Amino acid sequence: MTAPSRTPPGEGPTVLIDTYDRVATDLRVSLTDKCNLRCTYCMPEEGLQWLGKSELLSDDEIVRLIRIAVTSLGITEVRFTGGEPLLRPGLVSIVEQCAALAPRPRMSLTTNGIGLKRTAAALRAAGLDRVNVSLDTLRPDVFKTLTRRDRHKDVLEGLEAAREAGLTPVKVNSVLMPGLNDDEAPELLAWAVANDYELRFIEQMPLDAQHGWKRDGMITAGDILASLRTRFTLAPEDDEARGSAPAERWTVDGGPHRVGVIASVTRPFCRACDRTRLTADGQIRTCLFAREETDLRSALRSDAPDAEIARLWKVAMWGKKAGSGLDDPSFLQPDRPMSAIGG
């Protein structure tokens, strides 16, 4: 990817463009670093040192930043993440306020599903469009091993509640781990098809708090597709249909159901990336794997005007690197884990 010759953004175009001509239109907003699961590929059993209340953005600060992004910087999609975003007390109000913005962004939520049974209807009424729910296994005992919590039934009930509330398409995100659930890909897809969920497998990424990720032995996109093809006929969608989406998708047995694979490690999609990320403590990240952040919280709390915050955001995105660096032998994991960054 060759960078064009440009001057840095100033008061010019109201878009988040970088030096590789990529324009960010998709904002991922982490609402909390806390989670009520302890997934082995994310954090240790005892949890982490959570952010203090004063470090977290307030509801009003989050809404203000989203408003600036939508009305001044060309953001058209907002994804609420965590940690576990359903643990944020003001979530419904945040969604409702963002749904009132003009232009109205499309809004989705990535969740472990545990609290969806009680919140799905309220979130839909507030204006949320759809959800992504993490579920790595159909086996309650394996779920307990993977997450260190006995909440499998709650996730299934949350998925059903989301579908019934109209938070569709309901997408299910699954990570396969060697020796635990690496044999479940065909069963997960059959279940997703039967329940009208769109399944997406995600390669395990080097974002665990323990820094225990190893490339050797990880379940790759190739492994997943080979397993699925033992039971299903898969036909790939073309690149035009994929656009900037992180998931490569295939139709299943002629359609209409589809399955996706997000291969961040073995098939990176950095060239088409259209995402910008806001952490729960008000930092802009240009990439999940970035080791640098830009502080917007300080600007907010020093009464900076919207135009100055927009300028800082544009400058941050201007510095986005060509790729994640995963293929570089000198790659280092980010200091902050997935739970702090927002997926």
| 206 SS3 class | coil
Q: Which residues are annotated as a binding site for GTP?
A: 28, 79, 110, 171, 275-277
Q: Which residues are annotated as a binding site for S-adenosyl-L-methionine?
A: 41, 83, 134, 205
How many angstroms from the chain centroid is the CA of residue 257? 22
Q: Which residues are annotated as a binding site?
A: 28, 35, 39, 41-42, 79, 83, 110, 134, 171, 205, 270, 273, 275-277, 287
Q: Which residues are annotated as a binding site for [4Fe-4S] cluster?
A: 35, 39, 42, 270, 273, 287
Do 106 and 76 form a contact (C-beta atoms < 8 A)? yes
